[in-house]
Each structure stands twice: as C-alpha cells, then as structure tokens.
C-alpha cells in the first residue's frame, strides 16, 4: 500500500514522484521501459522547465551530462528572412534554456526522483486500473512475467497521450484539430549553428515549422511538425517534406551538404493543450501528455509537464493530509494548473491559427529584422510565456507596422 502510485516516469511523472517523495510520502513510480530510454521529442528545455527543475533540486545534475545551453532563438519567415534573437547571458543565473536528448534528460530526472525517496520499478507494464466504489485505488500489471497489483490512496497518470490511464479514464485527446504530428532525426555535421534554437516557418510546414535544435559536437535534433488535420487535408508526408527542405531549400541545403543522419527518423503525436481534458477524479490526477498539455504554437511539452507535476504534488499532499482524495478535493489541481497556464494555452492556440497566414509571418519577421524594439518584445515573450498574449493583440501589430 502506497500513498501515491505514479504511472510513467517521464518529466511529468518523475517530477510528481520527486516532489511528493521530498515531502515524505510513500511513492511508487512505475514505467514500462528500462532506463535510460529514448523518447521521441524535440529535446528543447524551456525557461519554465529550468524553473521547476531548480525548485526540485534537479537542475545541478545537468551540469555534468551532455547538453547544450541555449541563449536565444532564430526565426525565419516563409520568404526566407532570418532573425536571430539573443537572450541576456549572466554568470549569476542559469541559461534561459538548453537542449538535452531525452535519453539523457529523462534518466537524470528519474534518478533524481529515486534519490529523493521514490521507490521505482522499471519494465512494469500497467494493464488496468483498480476501481472500487467509484475511486481509482491502484493498478494491475505485469513484471518479469508475473501478474502484480499495487494499491494507493492516489494514482497519478503520467503515461502519455496514448497511455492506459488517459484512455481508461476517458481523457484521451483524439481530436485531430487539436493534435500535432511531428518527425525528428539526429544529424551530425550541420553547419551554421549557434547557441540558439532555430524555428523556421518554411512554406512546406505551415501551419507548423521546421526546426534545428543544436547539440554538442555539431550534432542537432532536426524535425518538422504540423497540425494532424492540416497534414491529412493536404496529404503531406512529413518525412518526405523534411527531406525535401533539407535537400532543396536554399537556406539549408548548404548547411546540410556534409551532414549525416545518425539516427532513424521517428514520428509521434502531440496532444495539444488547446483542447482541455478532465484530468482529475476520485483518487486520480493526470499530468503531462496524459493531460493534453502540449503548447499549441511551439509544440513544447516538457515545461508544462514539469509544472503539472509540481502542482499535482502540492494538491495531492494536502488532500492526503486531510484524508480526502475525492474528485471535489482534487479539482483544485485542474483549477490551479489552468489558472497558471490556461490563458497562455488559449493565446498560443490563437497564435497557431495566425501562423496559417503566410503574409503575417513574413510581416512580423521582416519587421523584427529591422527593429531592435520588436526583437526585445519577442525575446521577453519567449523568456516569459505568459507574455505571449501580446502576439494576438492589435496594438502589437500596429507597433510592427510602424516599426
């Protein structure tokens, strides 16, 4: 019997388990994989992620593992205008973000949760939830060829968009207008990279973008993402589109001339936070991708996953102390989470919709190239996601027109 069982040891699950174990609760962390394991992703770690990692005490552990500090972002428009935007470097504070392969990142976080006191079982396949009197009270699964079950006062679903918890609890986001599809591969020998992530709004990827995220030793995470509904409507093959961009687009063909792909191309589906799912109930909460929290504009999910884990741990801790893990009590998790990120998700959904308009992307990026003031506006918004709302306000575009 545990206080909390967490199903899934990605960023959402490991952060939830770590924060709760740190508070002294008896936590069981389950994952179907053996760590370290890969996870298909863009590998970008945002400023929001850095903040939560610092609060969890995990940030220091990334100093000694493979990663690339990031101090800004480079945008390009459909017409080929390129704008590098730098963030301020400070010796007294960590970088605003970094790029770290999920093979490395998730393992650091998983090991940190165990150091904080969470008990973990790897290669455990959860096959069902245990329900009693309308409450989730545990899980059933297989480990080393044997059927096992564990019970807890609260179960946390952190096993992703297609995981068993979201599906069993009716929270699976299957709306293709609120899903993105993406493919990525690792390359070495990519030229022209700096300490900035690159987001390129090329015509072939709208609404979406082509990315290059730098890693050490001239390696990079390279990929493309697009709304599933648009991809199907336009009958786009993302793998072929990415290869065409690399081989034929004038901005990239020289940069990739001597580059070599060093991994298979992998694909995945991202459940966007523009569609809210019910992520709590009697005896359970859902965090991370299981809660459909991917940013609708950037496609970034790690920051919101870590944030959901932190808030879930705080609400669960109070609920356990009060002896009340009912739906009514755990509803505080949903409220607090969306009080924090709800407006941002709505704004970024509107930004995603504006991103369909090629002329608007061309306008903003062309003006940003000429105006330091516009660059600083964009930089502040990137470092503080809650400032994204300026991008859907008329006065921002009036400022752009007059720049």
H or E element, residue 152: strand 146-157
Q: Cβ of 103: how many Cβ atoms within 10 Å?
A: 15
What integer is the mean pLDDT of 89-100? 85
Which of 371 and 340 is assigned the larger pLDDT? 340
**Is residue 158 scored above 80 in pLDDT?**
yes
Q: What pLDDT shows up at residue 310?
A: 98
Q: What pLDDT shows up at residue 391?
A: 53
Q: Are 71 and 379 in contact (CB under 8 A)?
A: no
**Is residue 43 scored above 80 in pLDDT?**
yes
Q: What pLDDT shows up at residue 126?
A: 98
**Is residue 398 scored above 60 in pLDDT?**
no
**Is residue 397 scored above 60 in pLDDT?**
no
CATH architecture of 176-270: 2-Layer Sandwich (3.30)
pTM: 0.93
Q: Cβ of 394: how many Cβ atoms within 10 Å?
A: 7
Peptide bond into 170 cis (omega under 30): no
**Is residue 209 scored above 90 in pLDDT?**
yes
Domain boundaries, the chain: 2-67+99-175+272-351, 176-270, 363-402
As given in the structure block, the two tokens for residue 21 are: 């174990």
Peptide bond into 36 cis (omega under 30): yes
Q: Nearest-CA neighbor of 223 among 264, 251, 189, 194?
A: 264
Confidence bin at 372 (pLDDT 50/70/90):
confident
Least confidently predicted of 38-52, 82-96, 123-137, 155-169: 82-96
Confidence bin at 91 (pLDDT 50/70/90):
confident
Backbone dihedral angles phi then psi of residue 279, each to the nearest 5 degrees: -110, 25
What is the bridge-based pairing of β-strands 179-188 and 266-271? antiparallel
The chain-wide mean pLDDT, for the chain, equals: 91
Residue % of the chain over a pLDDT of 90: 77
CATH architecture of 2-67+99-175+272-351: 3-Layer(bba) Sandwich (3.50)
What integer is the mean pLDDT of 138-159? 98
Range list of H helices, 170-298: 228-233, 238-248
- Size (the chain), residues: 403
Q: What pLDDT shows up at residue 375?
A: 74
Q: Cβ of 4: how many Cβ atoms within 10 Å?
A: 26
Q: What pLDDT shows up at residue 146?
A: 97
């Amino acid at each position: 019997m545990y206080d909390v069982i967490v199903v899934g040891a990605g960023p959402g699950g490991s952060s939830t388990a770590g924060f709760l174990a740190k508070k002294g609760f008896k936590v069981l962390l389950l994952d179907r994989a053996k760590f370290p394991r890969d996870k298909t992703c863009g590998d970008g770690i945002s400023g929001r992620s850095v903040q939560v990692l610092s609060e969890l005490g995990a940030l220091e552990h990334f100093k000694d593992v493979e990663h690339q500090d990031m101090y800004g972002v480079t945008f390009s428009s459909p017409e080929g205008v390129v704008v590098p935007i730098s963030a301020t470097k400070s010796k007294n504070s960590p970088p605003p973000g970094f790029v770290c392969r999920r093979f490395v990142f998730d393992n650091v976080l998983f090991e940190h949760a165990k150091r904080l006191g969470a008990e973990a079982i790897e290669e455990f396949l959860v096959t069902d939830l245990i329900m009693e009197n309308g409450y989730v009270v545990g899980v059933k699964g297989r480990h080393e060829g044997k059927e096992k079950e564990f019970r807890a006062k609260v179960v946390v679903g952190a096993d992703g968009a297609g995981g068993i918890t979201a599906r069993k609890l009716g929270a699976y986001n299957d709306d293709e207008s609120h899903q993105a599809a993406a493919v990525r591969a690792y390359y070495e020998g990519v030229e022209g990279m700096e300490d900035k992530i690159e987001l390129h709004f090329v015509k072939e990827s709208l609404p979406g973008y082509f990315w290059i995220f730098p890693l050490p030793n001239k390696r990079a995470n390279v990929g493309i993402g697009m709304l599933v509904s648009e991809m199907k409507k336009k009958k786009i093959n993302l793998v072929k589109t990415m290869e065409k961009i690399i081989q034929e687009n004038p901005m990239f063909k020289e940069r990739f001339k001597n580059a070599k792909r060093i991994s298979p191309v992998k694909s995945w589906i991202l459940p966007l936070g523009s569609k809210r799912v019910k992520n709590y109930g009697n005896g359970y909460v859902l965090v991370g991708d299981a809660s459909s929290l991917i940013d609708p504009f950037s496609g970034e999910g790690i920051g919101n996953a870590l944030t959901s884990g932190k808030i879930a741990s705080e609400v669960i801790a109070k609920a356990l102390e009060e002896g009340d893990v009912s739906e009514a009590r755990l509803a505080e998790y949903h409220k607090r989470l969306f009080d924090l990120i709800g407006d941002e998700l709505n704004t970024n959904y509107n930004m995603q919709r504006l991103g369909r308009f090629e002329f608007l992307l061309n306008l903003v990026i062309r003006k940003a190239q000429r105006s330091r003031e516009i660059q600083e506006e964009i930089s502040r918004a990137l470092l503080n996601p809650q400032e994204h709302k300026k991008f859907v306000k008329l006065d921002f575009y009036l400022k752009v027109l007059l720049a």
